[in-house]
């Protein structure tokens, strides 16, 4: 017997709806490579309906006192916690992620981040009122922007959706969110939960909306006249397209794009410890992370020792099924991603050496072995471009200046790390590295209180922290005559 794929539906104005024209796309489980659901392929009518719902809800939501918006977000956090197992199951079916790691590494941070932004709703800061011209008092108002069109990626469907909707709602905006076409299931479950909280507390149904679809759906959202802001987490190409589309009516744009994180290991580092931790930071989530530790730069005096240690760490890293508690990561997200990662390996230059992995695992689903590649040069494709898979490259450097040159010598500028026992060197490197985040003797931890975002082609705008919250607000000057 074959199981009929279940039908996923858009969430607009508090209701689940099919696409207006009935079009759908298949949703594939990356563990099996087989379709388990269909989702709407939303078109202009669906985007219009979602934007109209968000626009209608905006004045009411905007005018709530912050304490009321805080109450909503706190209830959402509680509801996510209460229904965590459902969210974990949906996310794993979306992505093939290990259940145990999704439970420990995603649900707690998501809940914490929502609670952080619930508090931020009541902590807007700005200049105090004052007189800067005789007889006049100036006041600064910080206000919500309006309707926000948000596009989330497939690598962390739940968490990236949380990074978008939580600060937007906390600041008083309403939301139309599109998940990736390959991972809509967990986002739609989140919509059900959020919608239930809004209904329970008597708030407008259009505050939070989710529509499914492909790139054309995202383009329609960004080009729509209603949203005042477009936010996307995705590829550099997608970010450029969003920025171009948004420029036509001068929408505000918030972009978190690709990464190619340098991991600079100096000769005084603990080689075994560094290799072990870098392997985890490079292979977690199958390397499908813009901040993943994918590009190691190691001092020439410890190069061979480090490569051997990293290759051993790769050999000890396990990929497999979601219910296996010993695995670090599951499959790549989709067939196209498997093809992309495999293509990088197939195109390796002759001077490169595959120290570990470099191949698909099994013939079912989209699993790829933890991979280490050495002998690379700075201008090699695999050094310059984002692989977005469980692949770590290794280059050697002679001194600090060359390490900085290699590290900064890519178009991405999201995250980086430095491994050394020399405090002064760590401080110098943190200043010289042109990346939005610099970790020292660690790689990949994030906290709600600190900003996440990059420079150059990694985009602009910040996720997490009060900086993200401020990105979802606008500033107004009010001047009044004292006469």
**Nearest CA to 366 among 382, 388, 393, 394?**
388
Residue 346 bears catalytic tag: no
With H, G, I as helix, E, B as strand and everything else as coil, classify residue 221.
helix
262-447: CATH architecture: 3-Layer(aba) Sandwich (3.40)
Distance (Å, rounded) from C-alpha 99 to C-alpha 334? Answer: 18
Strand 371-374 and strand 6-7: pairing? unpaired
Which pLDDT tens digits describe the chain residue by residue (483 residues)? 457 789 999 999 999 999 999 999 999 999 999 999 999 999 999 999 999 999 999 999 999 999 999 999 999 999 999 999 999 999 999 999 999 999 999 999 999 999 999 999 998 877 788 999 999 999 999 999 999 999 999 999 999 999 999 999 999 999 999 999 999 999 999 999 999 999 999 999 999 999 999 999 999 999 999 999 999 999 999 999 999 999 999 999 999 999 999 999 999 999 999 999 999 999 999 999 999 999 999 999 999 999 999 999 999 999 999 999 999 999 999 999 999 999 999 999 999 999 999 999 999 999 999 999 999 999 999 999 999 999 999 999 999 999 999 999 999 999 999 999 999 999 999 999 999 999 999 999 999 999 999 999 999 999 999 999 999 999 999 999 998
Instruction: Round to whole Å and give the CA distance between 259 and 45.
Output: 35
- The CATH class that applies to domain 6-257+458-479 reads alpha beta
**297: which strand partners?**
264, 395
111 by DSSP, 3-state: which?
helix
Burial of residue 4, with CB atoms counted within 10 A of its CB: 0-12 exposed, 13-18 middle, 19 or more buried: exposed
Domains 6-257+458-479 and 262-447 share a fold: no
Residue 212 is a catalytic residue: no
Q: Which residue has the tokens 């470099």?
A: 358
Q: Which residues of 164-183 are buried (b: 16+ CB within 10 A; e: fewer)?
A: bbbbbbbbbbbbbbbbbbbb
In 3D space, the residue among 153, 165, 171, 173 whose CA is nearest the CA of residue 218 turns out to be 153
Which one from 148, 212, 290, 437 is the annotated catalytic residue? 290
Domain boundaries along the sequence of the chain: 6-257+458-479, 262-447
CA nearest neighbour of 266 among 373, 422, 375, 442 = 422
Q: Which of 91, 256, 277, 355 is catalytic?
A: 256
* pLDDT recorded at residue 5: 87
């Amino acid at each position: 017997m074959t199981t009929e794929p279940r039908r996923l539906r858009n969430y607009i104005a508090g209701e689940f709806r099919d696409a207006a024209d009935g079009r759908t796309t298949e949703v594939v489980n990356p563990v099996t490579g087989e379709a388990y659901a269909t989702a709407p392929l939303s078109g202009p009518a669906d985007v219009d309906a979602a934007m109209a719902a968000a626009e209608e809800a905006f004045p009411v939501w905007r005018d709530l006192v912050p304490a009321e918006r805080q109450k909503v977000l706190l209830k959402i956090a509680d509801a996510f916690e209460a229904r965590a197992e459902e969210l974990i199951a949906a996310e794993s079916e979306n992505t093939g992620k290990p259940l145990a790691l999704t439970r420990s590494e995603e649900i707690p941070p998501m809940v914490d981040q929502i609670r952080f932004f619930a508090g931020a709703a009541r902590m807007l800061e700005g200049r105090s009122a004052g007189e800067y011209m005789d007889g006049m008092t100036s006041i600064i108002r910080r206000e919500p922007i309006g309707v926000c069109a948000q596009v989330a990626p497939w690598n962390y469907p739940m968490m990236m959706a949380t990074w978008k909707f939580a600060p937007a709602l906390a600041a008083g905006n309403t939301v139309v969110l599109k998940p990736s076409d390959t991972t809509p299931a967990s986002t739609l479950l989140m919509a059900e939960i959020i919608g239930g909280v809004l209904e329970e507390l008597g708030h407008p149904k259009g505050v939070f909306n989710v529509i499914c679809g492909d790139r054309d759906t995202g383009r329609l959202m960004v080009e729509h006249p209603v949203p005042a802001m477009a936010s996307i987490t995705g590829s550099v190409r997608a970010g450029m397209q969003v920025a171009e589309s948004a420029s036509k009516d001068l929408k505000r744009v918030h972009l978190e794009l690709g990464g190619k994180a340098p991991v600079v290991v100096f000769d005084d580092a603990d080689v075994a410890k560094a290799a072990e931790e870098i392997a985890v930071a490079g292979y977690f989530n199958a390397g499908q992370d813009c901040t993943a530790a994918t590009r190691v730069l190691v001092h020439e005096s410890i190069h061979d020792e480090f490569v051997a240690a990293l290759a051993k760490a790769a050999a000890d890293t396990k990929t497999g099924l979601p219910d296996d508690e010993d695995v670090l990561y599951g499959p790549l997200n989709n067939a196209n991603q498997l093809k992309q990662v495999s293509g990088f390996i197939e195109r390796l230059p002759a001077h490169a050496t595959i120290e570990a992995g470099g191949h698909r695992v099994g013939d079912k689903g989209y699993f790829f072995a933890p991979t280490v590649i050495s002998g690379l040069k700075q201008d090699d494709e695999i050094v310059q471009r984002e692989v977005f898979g469980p692949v770590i490259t290794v280059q050697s450097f002679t001194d600090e200046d060359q390490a900085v040159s290699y590290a900064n010598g890519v178009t991405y500028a999201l995250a980086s790390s430095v491994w050394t026992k020399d405090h002064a060197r760590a401080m110098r490197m943190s200043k010289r590295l042109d990346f939005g985040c610099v970790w020292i003797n660690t790689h990949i931890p994030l906290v709600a209180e600190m900003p996440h975002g990059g420079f150059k082609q990694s985009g602009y705008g910040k996720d997490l922290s009060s900086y993200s919250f401020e990105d979802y607000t606008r500033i107004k000057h009010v001047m009044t005559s004292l006469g």
